[in-house]
């Protein structure tokens, strides 16, 4: 895949902490076989340094699925620990 330098079609940003953020950009590019493709760039900014990672939509979809699975597993883990520690409590908030 070749980048074409155009502005992103759509962008999102997530501040992770005081010194880091993650930017997501949907970009239009050129794919050798079809002369057209959109792709996603995930850029990690930490302490002023940028590390861009260019992904196909399939790779980004897989990353999204893996993150969702980790969040669900983390919630289940937290729930089990809280249930054991506070057996009479009826609800909890997860962060």
Give the rounded distance of the alpha carbon of 63 from its chain centre: 7
Q: Looking at the structure, do residues 77 and 41 belong to the same domain, yes or no? A: no
Model confidence band, residue 14 (pLDDT cutoffs 50, 70, 90): very high
Model confidence over 47-87: pLDDT tens digits?
A: 889 999 988 889 999 999 999 999 999 989 988 898 898 88
Q: State the total domains in the chain.
A: 2
**Residue 18 belongs to a domain:** yes
Its domain, for residue 75, covers: 57-86
Chain position carrying tokens 């983390």: 74
Q: Looking at the structure, do residues 40 and 5 belong to the same domain, yes or no? A: yes
Can you tell me the distance from the alpha carbon of 19 to that of 72, in angstroms, rounded to the nearest whole number?
A: 27
Residue 56, token pair as written in the block: 């196909």
Beta strands 37-46 and 20-30, pairing class: antiparallel
Q: Looking at the structure, do residues 36 and 70 belong to the same domain, yes or no? A: no
**Residue 93 belongs to a domain:** no
Q: Looking at the structure, do residues 23 and 4 belong to the same domain, yes or no? A: yes
Q: What is the pTM of this model?
A: 0.73
Can you tell me the distance from the alpha carbon of 16 to that of 49, in angstroms, rounded to the nearest whole number?
A: 14
């Amino acid at each position: 895949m070749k980048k074409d330098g155009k502005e992103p079609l759509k962008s999102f940003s997530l501040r992770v902490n005081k010194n880091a953020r993650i930017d997501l950009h949907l970009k239009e590019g050129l794919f050798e076989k079809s002369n057209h493709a959109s792709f996603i760039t995930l850029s990690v900014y930490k302490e002023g340094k940028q590390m861009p990672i260019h992904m196909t939509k399939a790779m980004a979809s897989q990353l999204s699925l893996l993150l969702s699975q980790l969040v669900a597993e983390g919630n289940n883990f937290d729930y089990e620990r809280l249930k054991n520690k506070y057996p009479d409590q009826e609800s909890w908030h997860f962060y």
